Amino acid sequence: MDVYYKAGKEKSVVYEDAQDGYDYKKGRYSFLSFQTTGKEKELIIQVHKEGKYDTNYSKYKINLIGLPFKVKKIEIDNEKVLFDKKTFENSNYLIVDKEFTELHIIGE
């Protein structure tokens, strides 16, 4: 998933289902709403999920594009995440569990 830094707020959505019938009428779909908030030295990504469809993947690869700061700290659902700053600066992506609700990237 590509996430482009933007100062201010932005919202995007993703809809997924099995694409092979009418199970979506029974709630077997996934509707994800992503809210990003970009600040001078922060990026916050919040996710809200609706529906009961379980996708066949368990993680997201989040490519962070255009961050105007060096990353100092990363928190997922209010828990600090250990990461290698040097490796991150070269790759600019994170692998995160798909069940996260808030990703907070703090710069220096």
Question: What is the domain partition of the chain in residue ranges?
Answer: 2-107
Q: What is the pLDDT of residues 44-95, one digit of tens each?
A: 999 999 999 999 999 999 999 999 999 999 999 999 999 888 888 889 999 9
Q: Give the span between the Cα atoms of 70 and 88, in whole angstroms.
A: 10
- pLDDT at residue 8, rounded to an integer: 98
pTM: 0.90
Question: Under 8 Å CB-to-CB from 79, ≥6 apart: which residues?
Answer: none
Confidence of residue 101 (pLDDT cuts 50, 70, 90): very high
Look up the CATH number of domain 2-107: 2.60.40.1180
Q: What is the pLDDT of residues 26-56, one digit of tens each?
A: 989 999 999 999 999 999 999 999 999 999 9
